[in-house]
Each structure stands twice: as C-alpha cells, then as structure tokens.
Structure 1
C-alpha cells in the first residue's frame, strides 16, 4: 500500500561553509537569503522573490567524521512518515536518520536499495510550502535519479510513492524514463554512466539565461561538468558543482546560437531530447 503519489516538497543544501554557499548561490541563481536559525541550529532560507525555496544548513561534524560531503537533499512529502520509513526498510532501502521532529517538520533521511539518498517530510511548515509551478525561475524544476539500474529503482519508488511512468526516451546507453507524481511529470530515472561513482538524485534549478548562468558558475568558483546542452523543447541544461563540492544542475534558455556538443550526452539524452545545432549558416 502506497502512502500517496508524493511530490518533492522541500530541498536543502547541506554544506561545510554556509557563508560561502550563500555568496555562491546568490550570485549564480539570484536567490535572496533569510536567517531562520533556531536555538542550537544555524539555518538559512534561500528565497526566490519573497518565497522560501531552499533550506541551508551546516553538515554536522558527526557526519563529516563518517566521510559525508556537501550535498543537496530533496524531501518527498508523505502523510505518515513513520509508516513510510518502515516500508522503505521492508523494500530493501535504508533509514539513516529515523523520523525526527525538526524546524521544518517531521523528517527522515533515507536511501533506496541502490543507496541513492533522499529525505521524507511530514507536516512541512506552512511557510515553506511551494505554491508556484515547477517552471518558475529560482525554483527546482526537475528531479533526476542516476540509478545503478533504473528499472529496479522505479519498482521501488512506484511501490513506495505511487509514482507512474510517463514518456520515455531510448538512446545508445539505455532508457531515460520520465515519471509523474499524481498528474504532473516531475522527473526521470536513468541508469548512470560508469564514470558516476554512486547512485544519486540530481536537482535542476530554473534560471533565465543558461549561458550567463554558466559564466556566473565559473566566476563564483564553481565547476561545470557538462553543458550547456540543448533540449529539443528549447531549453538547455548544465551539470555543476559548487565550491564546496555539492552537485547540482541548472536549466534555462540559451542566449548563444548553437551548442557545439553531440546530440547525445554520454549515450543518453539526459533531461529530455538534446539537439545539436551547428553554429552559423548551414
């Protein structure tokens, strides 16, 4: 029995340098910053306009000692977090942090059977609830699972959350399978390339001009792994890491004509169909 078709409802950046992260993402994405600390917890909110969109906190010392590194966390909203955490364990996943009351709601940090980590939240604070469409600037607009095996990963998430298959695209390296929560397509799953060390979720943040954003990433000390890569529906993407090493992605429109990359990204067309437009005239 599934909880309900749960969407992602909140996101956090867990980092080793909050001040540096505030400066980097404010420059790259244009977010504002609000302090939301509580006694014993340093916490901040990235905002798009006046709306909070991302939480920011320090990576706990205990986690650092265990080898944890800066990362993004996406929270799936559930109605009964204790039952969902138990179901994750029965389905072969892991519960790293058991259901716990926090400043944002009752949360749990978990992983699927292929070790891709994500989070659960029950009773997300009303002030943090996302009230705009996924395509709005400054918001997370796509959720991509780089799995050890996308088919078995989908079985897990489908059983857990009731997610459904949407459109699929097949390339030389396999299938890029979109999925929906309720009636909205919110992301995709794909079998990761060998160069990617571990299964992980990747979150795409909406920006306006992807070329300008790429320049801001580099100028602010971040690293671009791949892109800009153009999609057939007109958008483009970047895969990046911030100066502390947390991996994220950006999606937006191109200001420059042409891509200069192959039509497939590592054998599959991540984040939709890629096109390869030549520069100048044909």
Structure 2
C-alpha cells in the first residue's frame, strides 16, 4: 500500500468481530506480536485495540449480534459519516448500522455495497485510525472480492472518488495517486455460498513462516504461500474462529 497514514477516502482501520475474544488475542499476538489493550469501560463492550509499540494497528471485538459473522472488517476514512451514508444509499448501497458516535473518538457507520460486501466508514475526531501501515504486523493492503465488478466499480468511484487501474482479473484502487487495494472477481472457483467481502492484508517478514505459525496456533491456510508477478508473496489464512485475512511480504507494497 502506498499510503503511509489514514487519508480521506482511504482505508484507515481493520477490525475483527470474533466469537472468542481471549482466544483471538492469543492467536494474533503469537502471529504479529500485537499488544492488545481492552477498553475497561462497560459501554465499550470488550473493544480491544492491538498495538505495535505505541501505534494502534487493528482492533478485536466480541460479536454484538446473533447474525453477525466472525470476520475482519475494513474501515475507510470520511469527512462526514452522515453525508457518506447518504452517498452510499444514493449509489445503490445499503445502510446496516449508524451513523453513531463512538465516545470522543469519532463517528462511524456500517454499510453494504451493491454486491453485498460490508464495510465501515469512519469520521475521525480524537482517533484517526491506524498509526502504522506497511510494517510487519500492520495493515498493508485491502482487497474486495466480488461477483459484480462493473457495478461495484461504479459504486466505489462514485462514493469515494477512487482511481481505477483495471486488468482482466484484478483491479487496483487508488486515491490521490496512491494505490491502497484491489478488487478480485469471484469466479467459478469460489463456492456460491461465499459472500462478497473485503479482505485485509497484513505485512510480515516471512509469508511461509507466518503460514506455519498460524497452523501451529490452531489456525489454517486457505491459500498457500504464492509468489505473484513483481515479486510479491502472499497467503490467505483463517484464524481458529474462522475469520479470513491475508499476509504479504513486507517491502512489496506497490
């Protein structure tokens, strides 16, 4: 990812909704060396910020609704959450939650694109989002997997003004000349019950070693470590509760 800090329209945060918070803390600490800090306030509901050094890099949180899936969620920074929610519905998306205030930190909403992929939008106040990108253990790429690429391309360029660098199978998203993510068209290789979704990728020094650590910690490997054109090496992993996430070799953000 060419972004080094949260910017309006770009990814600013990744948040795990999990059915086993304490187990998730142990798993991701073993993988990435995160230092989890759980907000002690009752109204925070167990919300946990993971840090590398002093920098916040992601969040882990219990599920709050029975129908909520165990999954990683990606948030994009916006100047006005209410206006952004209106833009989403006007472009054919769906409002799931909010907009609501989160203490003094900011205001957020959860929405779904026309292909069914859920994501969050964050209006920062005291909290801007991740304090570190692209370093081992931090967010470095976000990827949309969808079955309706043309429809969602129109949607995201309308809502966020993203630039589009297309190819027959993979499209890269950018903002202000900086690419931060991509879009993969879900073909016949994806089971029909797998919904469209956003997938965060975290940087690591060694993708193969990370896959081994994940399996040793009761996770699993969905996509084995693979080298792509240009030298990037990636893998897609599953945590013990079933949440998917990607890892890639740090130093290959472009």
TM above 0.5, yes or no, is yes
In structure 2, the gaps of 5 or more residues are: 1-6
Match of 1:141 in 2: 140
More relative contact order, 1 or 2 (CA 8 Å, 6+ apart): 2
1:184 aligned residue: 178
* Alpha-carbon separation, structure 1, partners of 2:220 and 2:14: 21
- Deviations 1:170-211 (Å, cap 9, x if unpaired)? 3xxxx2011102221001112113324211111100011111
Aligned-pair CA distance for 1:49: 2.1
SS of the equivalent of 2:214 reads: helix
Is the contact between residue 17 and residue 71 of structure 2 (CA under 8 Å) also seen in structure 1? yes
Counterpart for residue 88 of structure 2: 88
**Deviation digits for residues 221-273 of structure 1 (CA, Å, limit 9, x no counterpart):** 111111200123323111111111111111117xxxxxxxxxxxxxxxxx99x
Give the match for residue 122 of structure 1. Answer: 123
Seen in structure 2, the aligned counterparts of structure 1 residues 180 and 238 have a Cα distance that, compared at 3 Å, is: same
- Given that 2:73 and 2:199 are in contact with CA atoms closer than 8 Å, whether structure 1 keeps it comes out as no
CA-to-aligned-CA distance 1:33-58 (integer Å, 9 cap, x gap): 12223232211111122211111110
SS of residue in 2 equivalent to 1:153: helix
Long gaps (5+) in structure 1 = 254-270, 273-282
Question: Which residue is 1:226 aligned to?
Answer: 223
Residue 240 of structure 2 corresponds to residue 243 of structure 1? yes
Give the SS at the match of 1:245: coil
User: TM-score normalized by structure 1?
Assistant: 0.80
- The partner residue of 2:199 within 170, 178, 202 is 202
Please report the TM-score for the alignment, with normalisation by the length of structure 2: 0.89
2:9 counterpart of 1:6: yes
Asked whether 1:214 is paired with 2:217, we answer: no
The CA RMSD measured in Å over matched residues stands at: 1.9
Higher-Rg structure is 1
Residue 193 (structure 1) aligned with residue 197 (structure 2): no
Question: How far did 1:118 drift?
Answer: 0.1
Check whether the contact 1:5–1:182 (CA below 8 A) recurs between aligned residues.
Answer: no
